[in-house]
Amino acid sequence: MTTRGRGRSPVVLVLPAVLGLAFLLVPLVGLLVRTPWSALPGRLVGAEVGEALRLSLVCATLATALCLVLGIPLAWLLARSDVPGRGLLRALVTVPLVLPPVVGGVALLLVLGRRGLVGQYLDAWFGVSLPFTTAGVVVAEAFVAMPFLVIAVEGALRAADPRYEEAAATLGASRWLAFRRVTLPSVLPGVVAGAVLCWARALGEFGATITFAGNFPGETTTMPLAVYLALEGDPDAAVVLSVVLLLVSVGVLAGLRERWVGGVR
């Protein structure tokens, strides 16, 4: 059987498609060509690069953990609850996806800064100040990355069959027990996919981080910020850090490819 619509592509479409592919890939190829591969191991264990790499991995992991704790219940609320205005809530949850990261950083400052709506009380009551600290990096990364997790988990929850939860309820399971023993295992692939995307987005965050947490080596200078700094004084270090971020991104996409395009041939 011949698949409809899969004949020879017209030249008028092929040419711009090839140009579009080149537009996306040539800069990445240029980055790989200019990478000092022989010096790469030494650069990765160097003080500045290694410090930024370590801080990025730690902060991205903590941000992902925070997103899991807050994002899974939020995804369940959007997918399974009868709370009014779910459409509006869903739109608000996805705002960080389209919001310029710098604007997100400014918003975090106005809320969690020492004179912010919430930050002033954190500082006065508990002596906690989040801006320009490592904890601020985690908060900024979680803010921009959480929508990826929520969208993935909500989609998995909507696709899951609720009859299994109903069957667990008829057997005497509480709603929490049914969620923990039935619902969560059934949507685990979606949770894993969302967590990986969330982690990758947090790892590459720049705008909200530099606005809310600043750029202090050893404390808030993550890999994207280190790339920005290195471009002025040490281009080779900037290239090395860029390649690391590129490889992480490609690894994430390759790992999730089957989930995205499975069944599409």
pLDDT in tens, 242-263: 888 888 878 777 776 655 544 4
Name the pTM for this structure. 0.83
Mean pLDDT of 233-246: 82
Q: For the chain, how many residues are written? A: 265
Residue 253 domain-assigned (yes or no): no
Residue 1, pLDDT score: 46
DSSP state of 263: T
Residue 256, pLDDT score: 67
Residue type, 84: P
Residue type, 227: V
pLDDT in tens, 211-222: 999 988 888 999
Mean pLDDT of 106-135: 91
Residue 146 domain-assigned (yes or no): yes
Q: How many domains does the chain have?
A: 1
Question: CA–CA separation, 109 vs 140, rounded Å?
Answer: 10
Please say if the pLDDT value at position 91 is more than 50. Answer: yes
For 161, phi and psi rounded to 5 degrees?
A: -80, 115
Could you tell me what percent of the chain has a pLDDT over 90? 32
CATH code where residue 80 lies: 1.10.3720.10
Residues contacting 193, CB < 8 A, separation 6+: 152, 256, 259
Mean pLDDT of 83-99: 87
Residue 258 domain-assigned (yes or no): no
Cβ-contact 115, 126 below 8 angstroms: no
Residue 1 domain-assigned (yes or no): no
Residue 262, pLDDT score: 47
Residue 261, pLDDT score: 45
3-state SS assignment for residue 118: coil
Give the residue numbers spanning the domain of 143.
Answer: 63-221
Residue 264, pLDDT score: 41
Residue 198 domain-assigned (yes or no): yes
Residue 127 domain-assigned (yes or no): yes
* Helix intervals (H) in the chain: 11-33, 40-44, 47-80, 86-93, 95-98, 101-112, 119-121, 134-159, 163-170, 175-178, 184-186, 188-203, 207-212, 223-233, 235-261
Please say if the pLDDT value at position 208 is more than 90. Answer: yes
Q: What is the mean pLDDT of the chain?
A: 84
pLDDT in tens, 46-61: 667 778 888 998 999 9
Low-confidence winner among 16-20, 128-132, 173-177 (lowest mean pLDDT): 173-177
Residue 176, pLDDT score: 77
Residue 185 domain-assigned (yes or no): yes
pLDDT in tens, 141-200: 999 999 999 999 998 888 877 777 778 777 777 777 777 778 888 888 889 989 998 998
Residue 52 domain-assigned (yes or no): no
